[in-house]
Amino acid sequence: MTDGQPSLRRNFSWTFLGNAVFAACLWGILVVLTKLGSPDVVGRFALGSAIATPAVMFANLQLRVVLATDATQAWEFRDYLGVRLLLLPVALLVVVAIAFLGYSREQALVIGVFGLVRCVESLSDIFYGFAQKHERMDLVARSLWIRGLSALAFFGGAFWLTGDLAISLGALAGGWLLTVLFFDYPRLRLLIRQSGEPSLRPRFKRDIVRSIVWLAWPLGLVMLLINLRNTIPRTFLESSFGEDQLGIFSALSYLVIAGSTVILALSQASIARLSRYYADGQRELFKGTILKILGLGMLIGLLGVLVAVLAGGFLLELLYSPEYAQHTDLFIMIMIGGALLYLASLLGAPVSAMREFRVQLWVYLINVILMVGMSSYLIPRHGMMGAAVVMLGCSVWLTSAYVYLVKRGIDRMAARPSDAAQLMDGEAE
């Protein structure tokens, strides 16, 4: 389909540019913390994210995905918005309860404010789902630019003035709320009007809420398990060695995000085409697209490992401080695990295109069990290097599992006739 080609390229470009600027600004926040704060402050920041994020991500139920793929218009946007607004306060209460029951007062305050940041972010996320449904990835990208720059400005400015992490996170939440009010909301209102939907006001009909939650809860559980991939080793590391080592490990791990920006864009841009190829039985095109995106992912991962081996110490000292540059071997191990994780993430696109949703629950459930077992043994004995080995081992599992699922799907395509073959058989009869 030639008409679809430019749209795919535009969507990839906007998705990549939006995610790249946003990721760069979030990394800038980490640089601010390493330059103006100490490793234990970085560790407290990482701990706040690790504890607050999973609960909010589960409460999101990946409604952005459900909304963006609602081609039959089963529900209106106001129904999705109603579910989001009902679940976010519950998620925030869970985060606050976990924070004050399991952590010190200073840690609990940071975790609680981080939960608030994630809740504000979820308001933009539901807007992104509606924009994505109407193929307005340019609006998503522009919102990400504003959110990224405001995050760096509000958080960085507040931390420079006060040196207080909780206050700085509160400023970040305020900046993102301004984005929701003065960018996301006006454009959403215009899109609502153009799409012909009756209202932007959230609707809380019990039967609709129940139906949406019932449909989306497996996706929320998958997202929870994905987020536990970061939470589990960091929690074990903080418990055994404190916030100082957690801060160093988190700063080094964040450099994997640079490559993830391209990986995410490739995955999001390719999934619709892979779905069409799979549904139409176009096996060679399906395989060819997978090999292309895997080739790019492998190249990005190998470049990251090569940079870590040849210039890791110099890069860490330049970006952070000499204290971080002492952990070059750890950095190399983290980048190797990241390279494998890139492949697993890209293989997730064809698995989702094949509508293999439930089996992914089992993949990530086994991943969490594996991670808990490895973390409990390796991290207390080997510290940050043990955490890196845990991440590497789980990346090996995820990549292997997704390779199997993709191969199984391709074999199934070979076992069934394509649409063209079925048409020829029908004409022959």
Say how far apart CA 384 and CA 39 lie, in whole Å.
Answer: 13
With left for phi above 0 and alpha for psi between -120 and 50, is residue 317 left, alpha or beta? alpha
203 and 267, same structural domain? no
Instruction: Using alpha carbons, select from 115, 124, 113 the residue that is nearest to residue 56.
Output: 115
Instruction: Supply 195's token pair.
Output: 């799409």
Instruction: Supply 200's token pair.
Output: 């932007």
Say how far apart CA 386 and CA 375 lie, in whole Å.
Answer: 7
301 and 218, same structural domain? no
272 and 201, same structural domain? no
Instruction: Using alpha carbons, select from 193, 187, 210 the residue that is nearest to residue 61.
Output: 210
Q: Assess if residue 396 is contained within a domain.
A: yes
Say how far apart CA 15 and CA 20 lie, in whole Å.
Answer: 8
- The confidence score (pLDDT) of residue 4 equals 43
> Alpha-carbon torsion 255, 256, 258, 261, what sign?
negative
Range of the domain at 268: 255-418
Q: Assess if residue 376 is contained within a domain.
A: yes
- The confidence score (pLDDT) of residue 174 equals 92
> Token pair 């909304």 is at which residue?
67
344 and 260, same structural domain? yes
With left for phi above 0 and alpha for psi between -120 and 50, is residue 364 left, alpha or beta? alpha
Cβ-in-10-Å burial (0-12, 13-18, 19+) of 153 comes to middle
Count H helices and E strands in the chain, helices first.
Answer: 16, 0
How many domains, the chain?
Answer: 2
Q: Assess if residue 164 is contained within a domain.
A: yes
- The confidence score (pLDDT) of residue 426 equals 42
Q: Assess if residue 387 is contained within a domain.
A: yes
Contact 345, 264 (CB under 8 A): yes
Q: How many residues does the chain have?
A: 429
219 and 265, same structural domain? no
Domain end point (choices 223, 239, 273): 223
Say how far apart CA 296 and CA 292 lie, in whole Å.
Answer: 6
269 and 190, same structural domain? no
Contact 137, 11 (CB under 8 A): yes
217 and 260, same structural domain? no
What type of residue is 226? I
Say how far apart CA 199 and CA 305 lie, in whole Å.
Answer: 50
* pTM for the structure as a whole: 0.70
> Token pair 């510290």 is at which residue?
383
Q: Assess if residue 66 is contained within a domain.
A: yes
43 and 155, same structural domain? yes
What letter does residue 135 receive in the DSSP assignment? T
259 and 212, same structural domain? no
Instruction: Using alpha carbons, select from 221, 228, 267, 181 the residue that is nearest to residue 60.
Output: 221
Q: Assess if residue 427 is contained within a domain.
A: no
Q: Assess if residue 280 is contained within a domain.
A: yes
Domain end point (choices 173, 208, 223): 223
Say how far apart CA 121 and CA 47 lie, in whole Å.
Answer: 18
Give pLDDT tens digits along the chain (429 positions): 444 443 556 766 777 788 788 888 888 888 888 888 777 787 788 788 888 888 888 888 878 777 766 656 778 888 888 999 999 999 999 999 988 887 888 888 889 999 999 999 999 888 888 887 777 778 888 899 999 999 999 998 999 988 888 899 999 999 999 999 999 888 888 888 877 777 778 888 888 889 888 877 877 887 788 777 777 888 888 788 877 777 788 778 877 776 777 777 777 666 667 777 887 788 888 888 888 888 888 888 898 899 889 888 888 888 777 877 888 888 899 899 989 988 988 888 788 777 676 788 888 889 989 999 999 999 998 888 998 899 899 999 999 999 999 998 888 887 765 544 443 344 444
What letter does residue 183 receive in the DSSP assignment? I
Phi, psi of 76 (to 5 degrees): -90, 165
Q: Assess if residue 239 is contained within a domain.
A: no
Cα R_g (the chain), whole angstroms: 22
Instruction: Supply 278's token pair.
Output: 């799979």
405 and 273, same structural domain? yes
375 and 317, same structural domain? yes
260 and 128, same structural domain? no
- Written in H, E and C, the secondary structure of 320-359 is CCHHHHCCHHHHHHHHHHHHHHHHHHHHHHHHHHCCCCHH
Domain end point (choices 205, 223, 241): 223
- The confidence score (pLDDT) of residue 404 equals 93
Helices (H), 134-242: 137-162, 165-179, 185-195, 206-241
Cβ-in-10-Å burial (0-12, 13-18, 19+) of 190 comes to exposed
Instruction: Using alpha carbons, select from 114, 416, 105, 81 the residue that is nearest to residue 281.
Output: 416
Q: How many CB atoms lie within 10 A of CB 290?
A: 21
